[in-house]
């Protein structure tokens, strides 16, 4: 696994207020990394530091294995981003805007603008001026601009903010295709859990400037799987009975007579009967109700995410 972004105790304070607090973030090559947090959690501040727009108060940033402060120019050439303002000329078309940007950025590859327009689904908009674009189109144009120079890493700060469901879907599709076809590593921030869940394969959760969790969605789903939990007098015997009578193998034995069954949810009475008939005392049966959303709310201590 090659690290693309690594922050070491990254901290940013504005006077007394600590906006980003000892952040240890790891984004690896090929990931779509969802950076999730409520408004004011510290996402934009982190992203601005990653892009060299503001300086950390403390800590370090390594991108592509190099120190950002030492190699900023070289590193930034390999990154594309959308942060805050679009900065397009509203009276020009998408193509004209991109041609100007390509010139400014020193992108001389002949087809770069056409290619970017096509990827963003804007190649047919030959006449419309950017001032007449929907917000979704503007965001797609922003992404087209961000990929003009073929970056290896794309950093997108809340790219779906303010978009309608169709606009969100289009951005999602675009981001996925950039990751899959162009193999670009993508960091995308959002305050909406379901959005991150549909897009990202890894997630970092930031709350009050601190990174509370960094995990793959696969791992997270596994951890949040629904289960039936029995508290019994003899967990080994209970496990043996489940295997023998119902071919249940997807279970885990925990301490103090707890056994978690990940299949056959809703069949607790059948299992209860089996145990009791074979002389096992059943003290308690519980069903986990944890959904991903509850997990996040628990994690951030009661606040709501998305």
Which residues, listed in sequence order, are joined to residue 56 by a DSSP beta bridge? none
Half-sphere exposure (CA, 13 Å, Cβ side) for 78?
16
What string marks each residue from 188 to 227 as x (binds ligand ATP by CB under 6 A) or -? Answer: ---x------------------------------------
Least CB distance to ligand ATP at residue 99 (A)? 31
Site for ligand ATP in 142-161 (CB under 6 A): none
Nearer to ligand ATP, 34 or 37 (CB): 37
What string marks each residue from 72 to 111 as x (binds ligand ATP by CB under 6 A) or -? Answer: ----------------------------------------
Least CB distance to ligand ATP at residue 40 (A)? 4
Nearer to ligand ATP, 42 or 159 (CB): 42
Q: Which stretch binds ligand ATP (CB under 6 A): 14-22, 126-134, 228-236, 244-252?
A: 14-22
Site for ligand ATP in 18-77 (CB under 6 A): 19, 37, 39-45
Distance CA 17, CA 111 (A): 47
Nearer to ligand ATP, 43 or 145 (CB): 43
Site for ligand ATP in 163-192 (CB under 6 A): 191
The only residue of 3, 9, 14, 90 in contact with ligand ATP, by rule CB under 6 A? 14
Total residues binding ligand ATP (CB under 6 A)? 12
Least CB distance to ligand ATP at residue 132 (A)? 28
Which residues, listed in sequence order, are joined to residue 154 by a DSSP beta bridge? 80, 186
Least CB distance to ligand ATP at residue 195 (A)? 13
Nearer to ligand ATP, 84 or 219 (CB): 84
What angle is formed at CA 39 by the lines to CA 34 and CA 44, rounded to 5 degrees? 60
Distance CA 253, CA 280 (A): 15
Which residues, listed in sequence order, are joined to residue 18 by a DSSP beta bridge? 13
Q: Give me 263's structure tokens.
A: 């299949």
Q: Which residues bind ligand ATP (CB under 6 A)?
A: 14, 17, 19, 37, 39-45, 191
């Amino acid at each position: 696994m090659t690290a693309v972004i690594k922050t070491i105790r990254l901290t940013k304070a504005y006077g007394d207020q600590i906006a980003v607090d000892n952040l240890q973030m790891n984004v690896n090559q090929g990931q779509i990394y969802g950076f999730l947090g409520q408004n004011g959690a510290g996402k934009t501040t982190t992203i601005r530091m990653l892009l060299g727009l503001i300086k950390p108060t403390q800590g370090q940033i390594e991108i592509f294995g190099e120190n950002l402060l030492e190699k900023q120019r070289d590193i930034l050439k390999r990154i594309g981003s959308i942060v805050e303002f679009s900065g397009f000329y509203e009276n020009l078309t998408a193509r004209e805007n991109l041609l100007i940007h390509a010139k400014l950025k020193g992108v001389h590859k002949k087809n770069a603008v056409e290619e970017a327009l096509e990827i963003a689904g804007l190649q047919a908009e030959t006449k419309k001026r950017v001032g007449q674009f929907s917000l979704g189109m503007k965001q797609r144009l922003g992404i087209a601009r961000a990929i003009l120079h073929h970056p290896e890493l794309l950093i997108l700060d809340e790219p779906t903010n303010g978009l309608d469901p169709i606009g969100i879907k289009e951005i999602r599709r675009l981001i996925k295709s950039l990751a899959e076809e162009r193999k670009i590593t993508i960091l995308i921030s959002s305050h909406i859990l379901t959005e991150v869940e549909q897009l990202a394969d890894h997630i970092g959760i930031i709350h009050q400037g601190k990174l509370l969790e960094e995990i793959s969605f696969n791992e997270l789903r596994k951890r949040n799987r629904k289960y039936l939990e029995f508290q019994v007098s003899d967990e080994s015997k209970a496990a043996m009975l489940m295997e023998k009578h119902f071919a249940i193998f997807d279970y885990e034995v925990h301490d103090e007579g707890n056994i978690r069954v990940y299949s056959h949810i809703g069949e607790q009475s059948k299992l209860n009967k089996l145990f009791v008939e074979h002389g096992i005392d059943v003290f308690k049966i519980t069903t986990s109700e944890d959904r991903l959303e509850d997990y996040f709310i628990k994690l951030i201590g009661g606040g709501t995410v998305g």
